[in-house]
Structure 1
Amino acid sequence: MNILLVDDEPLELEQLEYLILKKFPNWKIFKAQDASKALQIVKQNDILLAFLDIQLPGKSGLELAMELSSSNTMDIIMVTAYQNFEYAQTSIRLGVVDYITKPVIEDELLSVLARYERIGRYSEQIIKALQIIQQEFSEKLTLNYLASKIHINAAYLSRKFQEEVGMGFSEYLNDYRLKEAQKMLIESPDLSINTISERCGFNSQHYFSQIFRKTTGQSPRDYRLKELYR
């Protein structure tokens, strides 16, 4: 699993690298001290997770996060010495998955990384499959299409998916689409439920609402109202 660390302080980079590799020695770490170098690394490597310092020279970490999230499917975690509520709000709007403060506490870092422990054990084929799903979830994805994209047999992919991810392809796809829909309901309040349903790859608004309620216990409309006015 490829990890990108971006910080203009070499000691901070070394500490973060040490703490990550101490727990996950097989992960590959890429380091950059500014946004320009980070973007070069991202172009040349499949990065699954990035830690970005907010205070970078030139382009800020938040600006870099915006650029990365608009054209890549990696998860982003912001790191900063400033406990600033406005920074946290901006990070959330950008879809950043977490926000930790300096000095980085090992237990806090490991709790953030725990969700990636399973991903770190995925085979290259499953990683490619997940990346395609994350890039094309709004399209009519099928197991046969996914298998053809990574040049393996569909039945073999189905078995590998269940073994490594712990759920079937269709279940994972629906789960991913629902999570994207939940974000879209909050981040784009002007979009209709039907539009969000279509953009997240669901066949119909009725099916989307049905599976949304089954998973969250609420209709998409009620979920939006609750989250926007909490």
Structure 2
Amino acid sequence: MNILLVDDEELELIQLEYIMQAQFPNWQFYKAPDASLALQIANKTKISLAFLDIQMPGKSGIELAKELKKLYELDIIMVTAFQSFEYAQAALRIGVTDYVTKPIIESELLEILQKYRKSNSQNDAIQDVLEIIHDEYSEKLNLSVIASRIHMNSTYLSRKFQEELGIGFADYLNKYRLEMAKKFLLQNKEIAISVVAERAGFNSQHYFSVQFKKHFNMTPSEYRFNPKFLEGAT
């Protein structure tokens, strides 16, 4: 499920993502500091749930919620530091699902999110696919095999995966493998590139290197010894 977090305070975005990611590790989080960037994200990726700060520079959370609702159906939770009846009325009129107040209390936030744990069987299937990818990315994986394992038609699963995550199965798997390869490159700088490629699930060192350069604009070796990442940042 794709989650959009919008707040002009970076620490609020970090806190929201931190709390939710621990409980919902398969959710995909997108963060934006303002309405403009939030709309760009929402136009490129289908968002299922959005957390919007009510008061932001430029467009308010209420105004942003109205524009998001025009794009497609999604749930919206407003985040506010104010207990205002006027805000509550405005939010209700545009169909906001719920609201949380700042400072965020973890138990209250998780209580609101309980209904999203098992929203429907289709989402459950996508979560199953993501768990398989995250656990077995180094193995030979393809959509047909996974579809068979979760007892679902591969064509249907492919379409639902694209709809839910805004990215195709093969592209997601490739992207995840590349992210894991980045970690391997930094964890042990003595491991050969060919071993990193194999551990990340790539059959060919050449293909791995081409894909790495395409996505990160540097070769695996350049990334490994880039001063920016010497402290282990990814």
Q: How big is the shift at 1:124?
A: 4.5
| Mapping for residues 1-230 of structure 1, pairs under 5 Å | 1-119=1-119, 121-124=123-126, 152=156
SS of the aligned residue for 1:3 comes to strand
Spell out structure 1 runs of 4+ moving beyond 3 A: 150-153
How far apart, in 1, do the equivalents of 2:76 and 2:117 lie?
A: 16
Which amino acid counterpart does residue 92 of structure 1 have in structure 2?
A: L
Q: How big is the shift at 1:7?
A: 0.1
Corresponding residue for 1:197?
A: none
Q: Which has the higher contact order (CA 8 A, sep 6+)?
A: 2
How far apart, in 2, do the equivalents of 1:152 and 1:36 lie?
A: 34
Identical residues among aligned pairs (%): 58
**TM superposition score normalised by structure 2:** 0.52
Deviation string, structure 1 residues 22-55 (Cα, Å, up to 9, x no partner): 1111111100000000001001111100000001
Which amino acid counterpart does residue 21 of structure 1 have in structure 2?
A: Q
Which amino acid counterpart does residue 12 of structure 1 have in structure 2?
A: E
Q: How big is the shift at 1:152?
A: 4.1
Structure 2's unaligned 5+ residue stretches are 128-153, 161-234
How far apart, in 2, do the equivalents of 1:123 and 1:59 lie?
A: 36
Deviation string, structure 1 residues 33-81 (Cα, Å, up to 9, x no partner): 0000000100111110000000111011000001111221110000000
Deviation string, structure 1 residues 188-222 (Cα, Å, up to 9, x no partner): xxxxxxxxxxxxxxxxxxxxxxxxxxxxxxxxxxx
Which amino acid counterpart does residue 123 of structure 1 have in structure 2?
A: A
How far apart, in 2, do the equivalents of 1:43 and 1:119 lie?
A: 23
How far apart, in 2, do the equivalents of 1:123 and 1:49 lie?
A: 18
SS of the aligned residue for 1:122 comes to helix
The 3 A distance-change label for structure 1 pair 151 and 81 is same
How far apart, in 2, do the equivalents of 1:59 and 1:103 lie?
A: 22
How far apart, in 1, do the equivalents of 2:106 and 2:116 lie?
A: 16
Aligned residues: 130
Q: How big is the shift at 1:89?
A: 0.8
SS of the aligned residue for 1:39 comes to helix
Structure 1's unaligned 5+ residue stretches are 126-149, 158-230
How far apart, in 2, do the equivalents of 1:113 and 1:106 lie?
A: 11
